[in-house]
């Protein structure tokens, strides 16, 4: 049976409703409320997330949209940003959200940013090490760092993409080449190691994890993740069995999630939580708040290595002060030696990716 003219008209109306005009999908920056009076940026900081449509990027976009210190939030990815942007932009919080899709919009995404958070890149599957991601993620981090050097050379950079032990040196080398390198502004995100350490230590002690602070130093992969259980606050002591259990669980927390997800990726929700916590600390530092201390993988003279994660004090200039390791016990000194050996190779691999 042929549809009547009226039925055809109704079907056309319905279909237009289901498939919104293609224009928005072609140019996601038109998703910004350009015709509205709200422009954002009057006060607060401008933050970009690169890799915003991914497993970490999406919940991180949600958490940064909730952060009252953020006035403008730019969401950049090579896929799916129109949808994520439309979704997050409906939250009735202060930040104005704009989406950017594909390499040709990278410069617009980055221009004017105060803080750039990078969770772009492939995650692990069971059986892989973080270093196995180097082949793909090294190139992604290089391209994004080149964009930062060109469009927002003074932004604070929070680098999440693995292997962090190599991607931070890669970004540093790109910035050096461009003549924009400021070691205080490039921070590898190791907050998830601290978040896990606080959680696991609190479980063992039977206390609230929010009351526990465990410094985790070194890097962000296997034995390079070195929890300093002798320096836990508030002060406490552990049996040798507890120390072995906790060190092993903290060092392999990422693998625990990768195996549980069984091929569907690595930590995303706890990572977004950790990244949002760290980004908030960076923004409070930028605002000039005093006494903001977090662990981060940064350019450092604490050991013989050019990069190392320790406690750093965050301020207007980024990582303004890098704290020494403090007193280590024999177990931790042995762990430090192992960490340094592996870290040296990972750092060198990142440096020579750009230099050679
Ligand atoms: N530092 C840390 O503690 C942690 C780091 N990670 C790392 O974070 C990275 C991302 O993990 P997931 O979000 O789970 O992965 P995912 O695959 O879910 O998301 C990654 C996103 O990056 C995007 N992307 C790929 N190439 C890009 C490019 N050139 N420019 C912009 N975006 C690009 C993808 O389209 C995707 O949306 C991985 O390398 C993972 O190993 C994960 C957990 C913890
Ligand atoms: O384990 C992974 O591949 C992701 C990661 O870095 C973490 O969860 O700590």
pLDDT at position 221: 98
Q: How many Å apart are CA 46 and CA 65, to the nearest integer?
A: 11
On whether the CB atoms of residues 66 and 277 are closer than 8 A, the answer is no
185 lines ligand 2 (CB under 6 A): no
Tell me if residue 320 falls in helix, strand or coil: strand
Residue 78: nearest ligand to its CA? Answer: 1
Residue 317, pLDDT > 70, answer yes
115-158 pLDDT tens trace = 999 999 999 999 999 999 999 999 999 999 999 999 999 999 99
Q: What is the largest CA-CA distance in the chain?
A: 85
| Residue 43 confidence class, pLDDT cut points 50, 70, 90 | confident
Q: How many Å apart are CA 260 and CA 266, to the nearest integer?
A: 9
Residue 189, pLDDT > 60, answer yes
Q: How confident is the model over 96-124, as a mean pLDDT?
A: 98
Q: What is the percentage of the chain residues whose pLDDT exceeds 90?
A: 88
Q: How many Å apart are CA 86 and CA 78, to the nearest integer?
A: 16
Residue 44, pLDDT > 50, answer yes
Q: How confident is the model over 104-115, as a mean pLDDT?
A: 98
Cα–Cα distances (Å) from 212 to 93, 283, 301, in that order, read 30, 23, 27
Spacing, Cα 302 to ligand 1 middle (Å): 29
Spacing, Cα 266 to ligand 1 middle (Å): 10
124 lines ligand 2 (CB under 6 A): yes
Q: How confident is the model over 186-215, as a mean pLDDT?
A: 98
Q: Which H/E stretch holds residue 186?
A: strand 186-188
Q: Is the peptide bond before 234 cis (omega within 30 degrees of 0)?
A: yes
158-174 pLDDT tens trace = 999 999 999 999 999 99
- For residue 150, count other CB atoms closer than 10 A to its CB: 14
- For residue 285, count other CB atoms closer than 10 A to its CB: 24
Residue 15, pLDDT > 90, answer no
52 is in an annotated binding site: yes
Residue with tokens 């080398």: 173
Q: How many Å apart are CA 160 and CA 268, to the nearest integer?
A: 11
Atom of ligand 2 nearest to the CA of 221: 6
Q: How many Å apart are CA 204 and CA 68, to the nearest integer?
A: 34
Spacing, Cα 124 to ligand 2 middle (Å): 7
Ligand 1 pocket list (CB less than 6 A): 50-51, 53-57, 77-79, 119-124, 133, 137, 140, 143-144, 160-162, 164, 189, 192, 220, 265-268, 271
Q: Is 74 considered catalytic here?
A: no
Atom of ligand 1 nearest to the CA of 267: 43
On whether the CB atoms of residues 286 and 167 are closer than 8 A, the answer is no
């Amino acid at each position: 049976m042929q549809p009547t003219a009226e039925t055809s008209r109704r079907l056309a109306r319905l279909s237009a409703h289901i498939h919104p005009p293609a224009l928005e999908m072609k140019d996601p920056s038109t998703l910004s409320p350009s015709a509205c009076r709200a422009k954002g940026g009057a006060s607060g900081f401008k933050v970009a997330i690169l890799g915003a449509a991914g497993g970490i990027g999406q919940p991180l976009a949600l958490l940064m949209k909730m952060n009252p210190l953020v006035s403008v939030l730019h969401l950049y990815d090579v896929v799916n940003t129109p949808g994520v942007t439309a979704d997050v932009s409906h939250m009735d919080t202060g930040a104005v959200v704009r989406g950017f899709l594909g390499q040709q919009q990278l410069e617009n995404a980055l221009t004017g940013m105060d803080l750039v958070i990078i969770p772009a890149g492939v995650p692990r599957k069971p059986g892989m090490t973080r270093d196995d991601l180097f082949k793909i993620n090294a190139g992604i981090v290089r391209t994004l760092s080149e964009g930062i050097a060109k469009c927002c050379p003074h932004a604070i950079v929070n680098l999440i993409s693995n292997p962090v032990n190599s991607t931070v040196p890669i970004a540093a080398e790109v910035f050096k080449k461009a003549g924009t390198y400021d070691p205080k502004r490039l921070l590898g995100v190791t907050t998830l190691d601290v978040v896990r350490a606080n959680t696991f230590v609190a479980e063992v002690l039977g206390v609230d994890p929010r009351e526990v602070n465990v410094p985790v130093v070194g890097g962000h992969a296997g034995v390079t993740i070195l929890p300093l259980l002798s320096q836990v606050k508030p002060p406490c002591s552990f049996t040798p069995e507890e120390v072995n259990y906790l060190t092993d669980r903290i060092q392999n927390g990422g693998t625990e999630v990768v195996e549980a997800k069984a091929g569907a990726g690595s930590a995303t929700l706890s990572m977004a939580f950790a990244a949002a916590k760290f980004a908030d600390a960076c923004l409070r530092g930028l605002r000039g708040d005093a006494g903001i201390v977090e662990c981060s993988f940064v350019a450092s003279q604490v050991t013989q290595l050019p990069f190392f994660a320790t406690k750093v004090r965050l301020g207007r200039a980024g990582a303004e002060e890098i704290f020494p390791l403090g007193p280590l016990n024999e177990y931790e000194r042995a762990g430090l030696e192992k960490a340094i050996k592996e870290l040296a190779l990972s750092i060198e691999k990142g440096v020579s990716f750009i230099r050679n």
